[in-house]
Amino acid sequence: MINHIKTMFLMILLTIILLVAGELLLDDGGIIIALLVAIVLNYFAYWYSDKMAIMMTRSRPLKENEAPQVYEAVRELAANSNLPMPRICLMPTEQPNAFAAGRNPSNSVVAVTQGLVHMLSQRKLKGVLAHEMAHIRNRDILVSTLAAVIAGALMVIARFGMYGMMFGGGRRDGHPALLLIKLAAMILAPVVAIFIRMAISRTREYQADASGATFARDPEESLASALQKMESYARRRPLQVNEAASHMFIVNPLSAKGLSGLFSTHPPSKRGLSVCATYM
């Protein structure tokens, strides 16, 4: 019920934010364009959230003969968590990472990277997949996708507003006060997108750590050590992925060094150690 409320809240929030951004950043007819965009995004984000996540991360279906160990682990975890078998996809990158998406457990997908399959032992792999199955069981995968849609839409509108100012102002650009409002909106739109993703992501990651630990039944080895190894690799070799979708991954796929770490949508990988202590 809580996640249903969150979903409705995010869909309403998406509409309001896009209407405000459209009115401030676009020229004549901006609010109408934003309303149409909001309706389309809400529809597709709800009914096709799994496909949108796959498209945003350039993943593809993974055949069982390509990674039988992944299918074996997911089948066991699905049985342990009383969930239907999700579709499994592969993201072609060497960074070890994973995410889950979908409208509900019956329409869900778990995506893994090539690096995750190749670098982790079966026990660590199982722990990571347990975390993603926990996202499905907790029904927060739709909320996560909606957050990605909001972030992406805000960034696109801000970019269009910037192009509009660079290549010819609209009917209101001649007024200094309105010009300042437009500049402020362009700066704040991406910041608002970051805070929306942060607010949703950090809570859901801790919840998935706890649930995943029970599904894997081997928390110390399979979860905590896997998280640390994955985050270490991600810091050395950040992943080229749509920033709006970065919060869906189990560890931050982008570099979180310096000031960017202050706005990371992911809690530190050491979170797994405290979770493990609870289940030892």
Concerning whether 23 is annotated as a catalytic residue, the answer is: no
Q: How far is CA 32 from CA 21, 135, 172, 182, in A?
A: 11, 35, 17, 18
Task: Kindly tell me the burial class for residue 8, based on how many C-beta atoms sit within 10 Å of its own C-beta (0-12, 13-18, 19 or more).
Answer: exposed
The residue annotated as part of the active site, out of 76, 132, 221, 243, is 132
Instruction: Please say whether the beta carbons of 57 and 49 come within 8 A.
Output: no
Active site residues: 132
